[in-house]
Amino acid sequence: MISSEAIKAKERFKRLGFLIRLISQNPTKLSSLKVSLQRANFDFIVGRLAKKAVGVNHSEVQLGDIKAWKVTAPNSDPEKILLYFHGGAYIVGNPQSYFPMMSHLAEATGFTIYVPSYRLAPEHVYPSQLIDGCNSYKSLIEDHGYSPNQIAFGGDSAGGNLALATLLKLKEDGETLPSAVICMSPWADPAATGDTYNLETCERDLVLGPTFKKVFLKYGLESYLTYYVDDADMDENNPLICPIKGDFTDCPPIMIHVGEDELLLSDSRTLKKVFERDGVLHEYKEWDELWHVFQMESLIPEAKESFKMFGSFLNKYVGVSCLLYTSDAADE
């Protein structure tokens, strides 16, 4: 049974359904005006979901060539860093629109959060976002003086995809990995091969349902991949595009929270199986009757509890080398 606050939040999303549908546009007919409309609608909706936590501040910083917001709560530890990638299907979203949610996450976890303004499609397609993700992490180490043991990754939806893809790319390149990863409703299967990508789930997911319904029915597309991946790079088996295809052996601990009523539920369930196969220490929770990235409604009890769980997880692992969390260690 969900809280009364969550029930009221569902009603708000129903009223915002028209604006949510406007966020989805035909990727083959995107104009600069339509993209601007998508982004303005997203910012309008997100900006009305929750007020920022009291006493939380932000400053604009650089992560190499990438602009970012540094979010600090009164209880933020300057030595514990969360590099958080915002969601938005790689098309919309920015550190400013995510500030309210990040303020509550910073307060609940006690972490200092960096939110990079990575490049967006359609102006910048894959692998632009992945390059920005890797460079943001490297800048925290090389320019800001943090060690990998002090850093965790986080992300929601497309940002969850980017957090996981960045992790896999760093592993592929032989880089030292961060200490932990947290994901909210990660978009790990952009090819939409999972069993929850269907019209029935569209009716339950108040956030993604209206947009995916247009993608499936009006535009006749099978997935969102064409929004940010060119034909030349299109490969549904590339783990840097579809992390469910990745090998996470020797990766740090990962926590995933996902709503039971969302289209991307199968993404998280598949990731859980992949982590079990690869011996990754992980914690996983499905939230009954909740929607895609319900944590944006940061004041409902379920979001507060989710943030609290992320905080416990991060504080358990950040500062411990990921080399301790190999499949061999998991069996001990």
Instruction: Give me the mean pLDDT over the 231-255 stretch.
Output: 96
Q: Where are the domains of the chain?
A: 4-331
Percent of the residues in the chain that have a pLDDT greater than 90, as a whole number: 76
Residue 28 CB neighbour total at 10 angstroms:
9
pLDDT mean over 265-273: 98
User: Tokens in use for 111?
Assistant: 């972490």
Q: Which residues of 116-151 are buried (b: 16+ CB within 10 A; e: fewer)?
A: bbbebbbeebbbbbbbbbbbbbebbbeeeebebbbb
Tokens of 106: 């910073």
Are β-strands 77-85 and 180-184 bridged in parallel, bridged antiparallel, or unpaired? unpaired
3-state secondary structure 6-75: HHHHHHHHHHCHHHHHHHCCCHHHCCHHHHHHHHHHHHHHHCCCCCCCCCCEEEEEEECCEEEEEEECCC
Encode pLDDT of 177-195 as tens digits. Answer: 999 999 999 999 999 999 9
Helix or strand or coil: residue 283? Answer: strand
pLDDT tier at 135 (50, 70, 90 boundaries)? very high
d(C-alpha 179, C-alpha 151), whole Å: 6
Q: Is the pLDDT of residue 60 over 60?
A: yes
Quick one: average pLDDT of 128-148?
98
Q: For the CA atoms of 285, 290, 295, 297, what is the dihedral angle to 10 degrees?
A: -160
Highest mean pLDDT among 29-43, 194-208, 241-255: 241-255
pLDDT at 320: 56
* Residue-averaged pLDDT of the chain: 92
CA nearest neighbour of 158 among 178, 129, 132:
129
Q: What is the pLDDT of residue 260?
A: 98
Burial profile 154-182: b = 16 or more Cβ within 10 angstroms, e = fewer: bbbbbbbbbbbbbbbbbbeeeeebbbbbb
pLDDT the model gives residue 133? 98
> Homologous superfamily of 4-331 in CATH?
Alpha/Beta hydrolase fold, catalytic domain (3.40.50.1820)
Determine the pLDDT at residue 331: 36
User: Sign (positive/negative) of CA torsion 277, 282, 288, 291?
Assistant: negative
Helix (H) or strand (E) holding 102: helix 95-109
| Residue pLDDT, tens place only, 192-241 | 999 999 999 999 999 998 888 887 887 777 777 888 899 899 999 999 99
